[in-house]
Amino acid sequence: MTPADTMPTRYPALTRALHWIVAALVIATIPAGVLMLQPDMPRGLRDTLFILHKNGGVIILALVLLRLVWRVLYPAPPLPSSLSPLQAQVARGAHFGLYALLLVMAVSGYIRVRAGGFPIEMLDAIGLPGFVPRSDSLADTAKWVHATARYALIALILAHVGAALHHLRKRDGVFARIWPPLGRGRA
Ligand code: HEM
Ligand code: HEM
At 59, is the pLDDT very low, low, confident or very high (cuts 50, 70, 90)? very high
What is the pTM for the complete model shown?
0.94
Distance (Å) from CA 19 to ligand 1 centroid = 6
pLDDT digits (tens, 9 = 90+) for 5-51: 455 689 999 999 999 999 999 999 999 999 999 999 999 999 999 99
pLDDT digits (tens, 9 = 90+) for 134-143: 999 999 999 9
Distance (Å) from CA 44 to ligand 2 centroid = 18
At 184, is the pLDDT very low, low, confident or very high (cuts 50, 70, 90)? low
pLDDT digits (tens, 9 = 90+) for 142-163: 999 999 999 999 999 999 999 9
Distance (Å) from CA 137 to ligand 1 centroid = 35
27 lines ligand 2 (CB under 6 A): no
Domain ranges of the chain: 7-177
The Cα angle at residue 121 between residues 120 and 124, in degrees rounded to 5: 85
Q: Which of 103, 110, 77 is nearest to 6 (CA)?
A: 77
Distance separating alpha carbons of residues 45 and 51, to the nearest angstrom: 10
Tell me the fold of 7-177: Fumarate Reductase Cytochrome B subunit (1.20.950)
Q: Output helix, strand, coil percentages for the chain, rounded to the nearest 5.
A: 70, 0, 30
125 lines ligand 2 (CB under 6 A): no
Q: Which of 61, 56, 62, 49 is nearest to 27 (CA)?
A: 56
Q: Which of 119, 163, 161 is nearest to 27 (CA)?
A: 161
Start-to-end CA span in the chain (Å): 24
Give the closest ligand to the alpha carbon of residue 163.
1
